[in-house]
């Protein structure tokens, strides 16, 4: 007996609740934009400049005491967060101390770091510092720039590729779905105030890659069915294609999410934010390829006559089943 | 019908076998690493029983390429430094002044007195007391310029001179600046490399990064702070004439002079002429030694040019003190006892043996031509890296197991085929990473885990398609064939788009992110190979043996 997550021969009308699904997504996207502008992102030192010191101690982390110890140094905004991980035992208590850039200096001085470390050792002699990272404002500015270039560049490249391989309506549908995925991910990171650094940009691009993969598989089937059923209304072709590929969509998302879940729980706290972003992105990416991309194609309409103009050149398009 | 030609079968198995062979060393990471290190030393000419034993830990007929571990996995220091190229302009102007003064002094009768005026660091401004002769002065000053020695700047001269009333303003030309910048960064790179090599850490990465930056990565123990101390010490050595002593740094040193503190005695300051007699650049050697009282000192030797300048100066100034200045601090200011020909001498001071050794190393490695500004510093402890490797391994194992269970539960024997293909996929990723000498980072491990999840996608696409084709009931063989055929375009489109993002990540990202792009991109390529060719071969072999009338996918 085989496991069937999705039963055979489904016939779900994915457009039945378009108002709820597509409309709901638009509302969520709008909410993400609002949250982004109201709460902003919790930028890591990659984008904001400053230093992050990771502390590890045998004693429980007392954020308040850390703060009091560092306060006399007058370093401005200091963010101290305790780091949790299921693999840490009782004698491993980890925290992260983030210091902003001091004045207009290009890098945080060694003295500042040493002073912070000394202050912390003063209240907890068992404390060690497994990693210290500093990024100057000049580099962080460039990193923001290259991050934006990377995300926009990949969107444009994908738009172009889909346009080449399909019709332009499909390309627009795919891009709307991608903007939805990236938007909701940024919105969630803003809402939960999870640290947003260079790795999250990599995660965003991975989401873009995964989501487009999902969307393309559905589109590929739509294209095939458009040729096969020349008179079937577009909405039915889209529904049929989504139903036919549903089992694959769920299966692939399932295996990927399973692998990522292992990484999320066991992969350590250093990459948790990164893995969380991809995990969330795959959920919204799968959703968007079913509920967003197709809706846009439906709204824009597509060319229905796929018969080649020159009948002699048409053999390679011949339907194998015909 | 399903048919795969024999040569194609052999080729597929060969690729898989090659993958296994090249990925193998990574299973014995520390052993192979020790053997590789030992072999490198032996190749450089040294050899002893211990090294031979270490080298024989791994047979030499097997491949010994390993996946490089990134700093976030191995621990170490990462620094991004910007070379302050403009520093060199100031130094050039400083050295131009005596030359210009001597040139103009020859025609003192027409030009009058020449005085140096305050100016920006990157220009030299002089005033002559006979403004009418400005044209002649301009002509003489222009005679000092030389053609630029670079390909792009050919045909232009290095110094631009313009007159502003009775003042002459000398600046470096654009072409000369560009040529100087490039030379400065290359010199700095070389010196940074030599200094880090002197300390003897293993496999540092020292690269030029953009126009004026240097990327330094030193794996293993050590913090960014230590590395900074090793390379950041500029070791600018100069010998400057002493004008007088002073009691504070606030006193007015007078034109063209400067006040510098003493290294050993606090509160003692020297007023020195700003233009040095000789600089550390003219040193050819420096060795730790002892002075006549048995105290640690440093012996040095100049090149012929430096030796001449030093000899002339000491001959003319017997009885007056001159200062040995290291990084803007006066090490000592001995009185010149006699003419020192031959260009060698000794620096004495209140050194410990270790200090004199370090000073000699720094002097020998040469001065950095310009200051370094550190834009980015990261230190990752080796324990943190080891933890990350362990966590990554465990997560990859558990994740793969979960995927395998789901695949076999869903597709039965076909799930087993997909699992075998998946194992080869991971093996191939490691083989290619080892062959390329690519770097595996923590996000890179995430990339592999993600590939595991996505690699089965191609198989899922094919299997789902076979299921559909089976419904039209034309026999299992035809269904399998059609399944592969029709799933292909979706597989290719999906993977090309993901590959596009991986390439963009690789081009734009750096460090750990780039490591992620590498494993993701490689994973896509290998997964398409294993999903399409390996599973197909497995299915065909299985089908040929069993000849099932019906199949269940």
Q: What percent of chain B has pLDDT over 70?
A: 95
Question: Mean pLDDT, to the nearest integer, of B145-171?
Answer: 77
Q: Which of A150, A257, A267 sits opposite B446 (nearest CB)?
A: A267
- pLDDT-derived band of residue B423, with 50, 70 and 90 as boundaries? very high
Distance from CA of B174 to the nearest CA of A (A): 25
Question: Mean pLDDT, to the nearest integer, of B104-130?
Answer: 84
Return the residue matching tokens 């308040």.
A64
Mean pLDDT of chain A: 86
- Chain A residue with minimum CA distance to B391: A267
Q: How far, in Å, are A202, B484, B517, B523 from residue B509 at the CA level?
A: 8, 35, 8, 18
A248–B377: do the CB atoms touch at under 8 Å? no
A271–B552: do the CB atoms touch at under 8 Å? no
**A-contacting residues in B 400-439 (Cβ below 8 Å):** 400, 402-403, 406-407, 409-412
B508–A254: do the CB atoms touch at under 8 Å? no
Mean pLDDT of chain B: 83
**Residue A70 to residue A62: CA distance in whole angstroms:** 13
A136–B394: do the CB atoms touch at under 8 Å? no
- Is B506 touching A (CB cutoff 8 A)? no
**A-contacting residues in B 188-227 (Cβ below 8 Å):** 223-225
- pLDDT-derived band of residue B200, with 50, 70 and 90 as boundaries? low
Tens digits of residue pLDDT in B315-343: 888 888 888 887 778 877 877 877 887 77
Q: Which residue from A168, A164, A177 is spatially nearest to A214, judged by alpha carbons?
A: A177
Distance from CA of A267 to the nearest CA of B (A): 5
Q: How far, in Å, are A241, B26, B56, B122, B128 from residue B254 at the CA level?
A: 87, 67, 69, 21, 19
Size of interface A-B (CB pairs under 8 A): 236
B126, HSE (Cβ side, Cα atoms, 13 Å): 29
- Is B246 touching A (CB cutoff 8 A)? no
Q: Which of B373, B388, B493 sits opposite A270 (nearest CB)?
A: B388
Tens digits of residue pLDDT in B370-390: 888 888 888 988 888 888 888
**A37 or A306, higher pLDDT:** A37
**B231 or B403, higher pLDDT:** B403
Return the residue matching tokens 């992969």.
A267
In this predicted structure, the answer to whether residue B46 has a pLDDT above a threshold of 80 is no
Contact B379, B225 (CB under 8 A): yes
The pLDDT, as a whole number, for residue B302 is: 83
Distance from CA of A246 to the nearest CA of B (A): 10
Q: Which of B224, B490, B504 sits opposite A216 (nearest CB)?
A: B490
Tens digits of residue pLDDT in B286-306: 777 888 888 888 888 888 788
The dihedral sign for the CA sequence B358, B364, B370, B376: negative
Question: Mean pLDDT, to the nearest integer, of A161-188?
Answer: 92
In this predicted structure, the answer to whether residue B367 has a pLDDT above a threshold of 70 is no
**Residue B360 to residue B347: CA distance in whole angstroms:** 10
In this predicted structure, the answer to whether residue B529 has a pLDDT above a threshold of 70 is yes
Q: How many beta carbons lie within 10 A of that of residue A52, not counting itself?
A: 20
**Residue A260 to residue A274: CA distance in whole angstroms:** 11
In this predicted structure, the answer to whether residue B170 has a pLDDT above a threshold of 80 is yes
Question: Mean pLDDT, to the nearest integer, of A252-260?
Answer: 90
Question: Mean pLDDT, to the nearest integer, of B64-93?
Answer: 86
The pLDDT, as a whole number, for residue A307 is: 60
A5–B410: do the CB atoms touch at under 8 Å? yes
- pLDDT-derived band of residue B492, with 50, 70 and 90 as boundaries? confident
**Residue B188 to residue B255: CA distance in whole angstroms:** 31
B412, HSE (Cβ side, Cα atoms, 13 Å): 9
- pLDDT-derived band of residue A321, with 50, 70 and 90 as boundaries? very low
The pLDDT, as a whole number, for residue A111 is: 80
Q: Which two tokens stand for residue B527?
A: 């997964």
B399–A262: do the CB atoms touch at under 8 Å? yes
Contact A78, A70 (CB under 8 A): yes
Q: What is the 3-state secondary structure (H, E, C) of chain A?
A: CCCCCCCCCCCCCCCCCHHHHHHHHHHHHHHHHHHHHHHCCEECHHHHCEEEEEEEECCCCCHHHHHHHHHHHCCCCEEEEEECCCCCCCCCEEEEEEECCCCCCCCCCHHHHHHHHHHHHHHCCCCEEEEEEEECHHHHHHHHHHHHHHHHHHHHHHHHHHHHHCCHHHHHHHHHHHHHHHHHHHHHHHHHCCEECHHHHHHHHHHHHHHHHHHHHHHHHHHHHHHHCCCCCHHHHHHHHHHHHHHHHHHHHHHHHHHHHHHHHHCCHHHHHHHHHHHHHHHHHHHHHHHCHHHHHHHHCCCCCCCCCCHHHHHHHCCCCC
Give Cβ neighbours of residue B232 (< 8 Å, ≥ 6 apart).
B372, B374
- Is B376 touching A (CB cutoff 8 A)? yes
Distance from CA of A205 to the nearest CA of B (A): 6
Region of poorest pLDDT, from A44-58, A250-264, B291-305, B412-426: B291-305
Contact B176, B159 (CB under 8 A): yes
- pLDDT-derived band of residue B441, with 50, 70 and 90 as boundaries? confident
A110–B501: do the CB atoms touch at under 8 Å? no
In this predicted structure, the answer to whether residue B553 has a pLDDT above a threshold of 60 is yes
Contact B318, B338 (CB under 8 A): yes
B399–A261: do the CB atoms touch at under 8 Å? yes
Tens digits of residue pLDDT in B449-490: 778 877 788 889 899 889 888 888 678 888 888 889 888 888
**Residue A244 to residue B469: CA distance in whole angstroms:** 12
Chosen from A92, A221, A271 to mutate, greatest number of chain B CBs within 10 A: A271
Interface predicted TM-score (ipTM)? 0.82
- Is B372 touching A (CB cutoff 8 A)? no
Of A215-229, B310-324, B494-508, give the range with the top mean pLDDT.
Answer: A215-229
A267–B391: do the CB atoms touch at under 8 Å? yes
The pLDDT, as a whole number, for residue B415 is: 92
Q: Which of A154, A256, A257 sits opposite B501 (nearest CB)?
A: A154
Question: Mean pLDDT, to the nearest integer, of B342-362?
Answer: 75
- Please state the φ and ψ torsions of residue A170, each to the nearest 5 degrees: -65, -40
In this predicted structure, the answer to whether residue A22 has a pLDDT above a threshold of 60 is yes
**Residue B300 to residue B282: CA distance in whole angstroms:** 10
Q: Which of A139, A202, A214 sits opposite B516 (nearest CB)?
A: A202
H helices of B80-152, in order, are 86-105, 108-111, 134-142
Chosen from B381, B501, B509, B515 to mutate, greatest number of chain A CBs within 10 A: B501
- Tell if the pTM clears 0.90, that is, is over it: no
Tens digits of residue pLDDT in A179-225: 999 999 999 999 999 999 888 888 888 888 888 888 888 998 998 99
Q: Which of B377, B398, B486 sits opposite A262 (nearest CB)?
A: B398
In this predicted structure, the answer to whether residue B231 has a pLDDT above a threshold of 80 is no
B461–A248: do the CB atoms touch at under 8 Å? yes
At B326, is the secondary structure helix, strand, or coil? strand
- pLDDT-derived band of residue B409, with 50, 70 and 90 as boundaries? very high
Cα angle value A48/A51/A53 (rounded, 5°)? 140
Q: Which residue from B499, B50, B253, B37 is spatially nearest to A208, judged by alpha carbons?
A: B499
**Residue A277 to residue A265: CA distance in whole angstroms:** 14
Return the residue matching tokens 């390329």.
B436
**Residue B58 to residue B64: CA distance in whole angstroms:** 8
The pLDDT, as a whole number, for residue A313 is: 47
Using an 8 Å CB-CB cutoff, list chain B residues near A256: 450, 453-454, 457
Q: Which of B223, B460, B505 sits opposite A150 (nearest CB)?
A: B505
Tens digits of residue pLDDT in B18-37: 999 999 998 888 888 888 88
B379–A131: do the CB atoms touch at under 8 Å? yes
**Residue B332 to residue B326: CA distance in whole angstroms:** 10
- Chain B residue with minimum CA distance to A4: B410
The pLDDT, as a whole number, for residue B233 is: 62
Distance from CA of A87 to the nearest CA of B (A): 8
Contact A47, A136 (CB under 8 A): no
Q: Which of B403, B497, B552 sits opposite A212 (nearest CB)?
A: B497
A2, HSE (Cβ side, Cα atoms, 13 Å): 19
Chosen from B227, B228, B233, B375 to mutate, greatest number of chain A CBs within 10 A: B375
Dmax over CA atoms of chain B, in Å, equals 114
**A-contacting residues in B 82-111 (Cβ below 8 Å):** 82
The pLDDT, as a whole number, for residue A305 is: 64
């Amino acid at each position: 007996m085989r496991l069937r997550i999705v039963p055979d021969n489904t016939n779900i009308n994915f457009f039945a609740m378009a108002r709820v699904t597509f409309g709901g997504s638009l509302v969520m996207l709008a909410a993400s934009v609002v949250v982004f502008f109201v709460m902003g992102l919790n930028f890591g030192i990659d984008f904001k400049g400053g230093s992050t010191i990771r502390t590890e101690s045998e004693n429980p982390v007392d954020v308040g005491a850390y703060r009091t110890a560092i306060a006399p140094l007058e370093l401005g905004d200091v963010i101290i967060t305790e780091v949790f991980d299921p693999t840490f035992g009782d004698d491993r208590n980890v925290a992260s101390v983030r210091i902003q850039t001091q004045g207009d200096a290009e890098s945080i001085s060694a003295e500042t770091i040493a002073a912070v470390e000394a202050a912390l050792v003063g209240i907890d002699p068992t404390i060690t510092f497994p990693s210290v990272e500093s990024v100057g404002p000049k580099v962080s500015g460039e990193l923001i720039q290259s991050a934006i270039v990377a995300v926009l560049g990949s969107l444009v490249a994908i738009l172009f590729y889909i346009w080449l391989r399909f019709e332009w309506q499909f390309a627009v549908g795919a891009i709307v779905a991608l903007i939805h995925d990236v938007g909701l991910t940024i919105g969630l990171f803003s809402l939960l105030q999870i640290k947003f650094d260079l790795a999250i940009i990599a995660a965003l691009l991975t989401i873009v890659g995964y989501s487009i993969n999902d969307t393309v598989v559905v589109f590929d089937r739509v294209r095939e069915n458009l040729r096969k059923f020349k008179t079937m209304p577009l909405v039915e072709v889209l529904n049929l294609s989504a139903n036919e590929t549903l089992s694959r969509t769920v299966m692939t998302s399932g295996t990927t999410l399973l692998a990522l879940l292992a990484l999320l729980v066991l992969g350590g706290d250093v990459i948790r934010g990164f893995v969380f972003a991809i995990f969330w992105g795959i959920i919204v990416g799968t959703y968007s390829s079913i509920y967003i991309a197709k809706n846009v194609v439906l709204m824009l309409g597509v060319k229905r006559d796929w018969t080649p103009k020159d009948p002699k050149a048409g053999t390679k398009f011949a339907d194998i089943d015909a | 019908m399903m048919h795969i030609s024999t040569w194609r079968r052999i080729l597929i198995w060969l690729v898989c076998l090659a993958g296994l062979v090249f990925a193998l060393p990574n299973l014995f990471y520390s052993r192979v690493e020790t053997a590789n290190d030992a072999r490198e030393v032996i190749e450089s000419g040294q050899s002893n029983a211990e090294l031979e034993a270490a080298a024989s830990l791994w047979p030499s007929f097997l491949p010994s390429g390993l996946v490089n571990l990134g700093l976030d996995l191995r621990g170490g220091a990462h620094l991004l430094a910007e070379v302050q190229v403009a520093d060199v302009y100031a130094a050039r102007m400083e050295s131009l002044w005596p030359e210009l003064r001597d040139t103009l002094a020859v025609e003192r009768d027409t030009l009058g007195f020449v005085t140096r005026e305050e100016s920006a660091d990157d220009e030299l401004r002089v005033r002559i007391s006979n403004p009418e002769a400005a044209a002649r002065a301009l002509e003489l000053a222009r005679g000092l310029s030389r053609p630029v020695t670079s390909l792009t700047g050919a045909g232009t001269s290095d110094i631009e001179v313009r007159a502003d009333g009775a003042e002459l303003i000398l600046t470096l030309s654009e072409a000369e600046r560009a040529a100087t910048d490039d030379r400065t960064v290359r010199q700095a790179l070389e010196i940074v490399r030599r200094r880090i090599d002197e300390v003897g850490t293993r496999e540092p990465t020292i690269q030029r990064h953009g126009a004026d930056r240097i990327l330094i990565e030193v794996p293993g123990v050590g913090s960014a702070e230590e590395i900074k101390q090793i390379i950041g010490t500029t070791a600018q050595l100069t010998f400057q004439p002493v004008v007088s002593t002073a009691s504070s740094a606030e006193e007015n040193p007078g034109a063209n002079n400067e006040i510098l503190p003493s290294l050993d005695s606090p509160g003692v300051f020297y007023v020195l002429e700003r233009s040095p007699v000789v600089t550390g650049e003219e040193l050819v050697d420096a060795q730790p030694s002892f002075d006549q009282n048995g105290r640690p000192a440093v012996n040095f030797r100049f090149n012929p040019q430096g030796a001449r300048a030093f000899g002339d100066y000491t001959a003319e100034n017997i009885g007056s003190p001159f200062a040995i200045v290291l990084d803007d601090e006066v090490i000592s200011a001995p009185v010149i006892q006699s003419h020192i020909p031959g260009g060698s001498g000794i620096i004495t001071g209140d050194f410990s043996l270790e200090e004199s050794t370090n000073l000699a190393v720094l002097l020998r490695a040469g001065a950095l031509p310009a200051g370094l500004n550190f834009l980015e510093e990261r230190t990752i402890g080796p324990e943190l890296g080891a933890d990350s490797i362990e966590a990554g391994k465990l997560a990859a194992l558990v994740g793969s197991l979960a995927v395998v269970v789901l695949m076999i539960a869903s597709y039965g024997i076909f799930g087993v085929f997909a699992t075998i293909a998946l194992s080869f996929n991971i093996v191939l990723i490691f083989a290619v990473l080892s062959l390329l000498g690519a770097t595996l980072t923590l996000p890179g491990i995430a990339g592999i885990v993600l590939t595991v999840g996505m690699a089965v996608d191609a198989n899922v696409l094919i299997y789902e398609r076979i299921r559909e084709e089976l419904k039209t009931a034309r026999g299992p063989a035809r269904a399998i064939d059609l399944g592969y055929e029709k799933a292909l375009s979706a597989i290719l489109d999906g993977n090309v788009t993901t590959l596009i993002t991986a390439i963009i990540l690789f081009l734009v990202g750096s460090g750990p992110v780039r490591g992620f792009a590498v494993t993701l991109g490689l994973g896509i390529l290998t997964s398409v190979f294993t999903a399409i060719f390996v599973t197909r071969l497995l299915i065909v072999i299985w089908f040929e043996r069993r000849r099932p009338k019906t199949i269940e996918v």
